Structure 1
Amino acid sequence: MSQRTERIQQLAYQIWESEGRPAHQEHRHWEMATKLYEAEQQQGVAPEASAPAAKPKKPRATKPKAASLAEQAIEKVKEAIKPKAEKPPVEKTAVAAPKKPRVSRAKAVPKE
């Protein structure tokens, strides 16, 4: 790969990252990078001098391993299966009186 192609590829990658890594924009990024490369060459800027210093990447948050997830799931199942202390049955001492049938208002109003 020529130095020109490598430099354009680096620039296109930087453009892609700066735009939030959008999908299906390769051609547009390559065109923009080509124009930037040509501008660099016209100004006589060395590729190393124009490249911004690479920032150290932040470590990504790691997901819990599958084994620990499985262990957590097993613990939840064990808690759900565990026999619970039985409560003594509640004795019903007072029996509720049977409900009286409802009377509609039309029947409840005395006729004069």
Structure 2
Amino acid sequence: MALHDWLSGWECTHVAIESTGVYWKPVWNILEGALTLILANAKRIKHVPGRKTDIADATWIAQLLRSGLITPSFVPPADIRNLRDLTRYRRKLLRDATAEKNRIHKILQNAI
């Protein structure tokens, strides 16, 4: 929320976020709807030699954004993202249940 307030204070209208892992998701969820968000594919913007720090990375991403050189990645609407999360969680639970069943079968077979 502090980031949202800070960006609003500086009258930012666009924000580019590098898509590394899942770290971009909470920031995206906070800023979604208030600003124009662009999710940048890390592979497409990393091919620049000499960038070693987070500050240099942020400066580079800002330059690319201002120049219009970031191709935005597709981010589905919030309801679809939530459905995907639930589906993935259900799949994980089913895998865990199957693994437990297999462990029980193995224990029972070894007990005979």
Higher strand share: 2
Higher helix share: 2
TM-score using structure 1 length: 0.37
Query: RCO higher in 1 or 2 (8 Å CA, sep ≥ 6)?
Result: 2
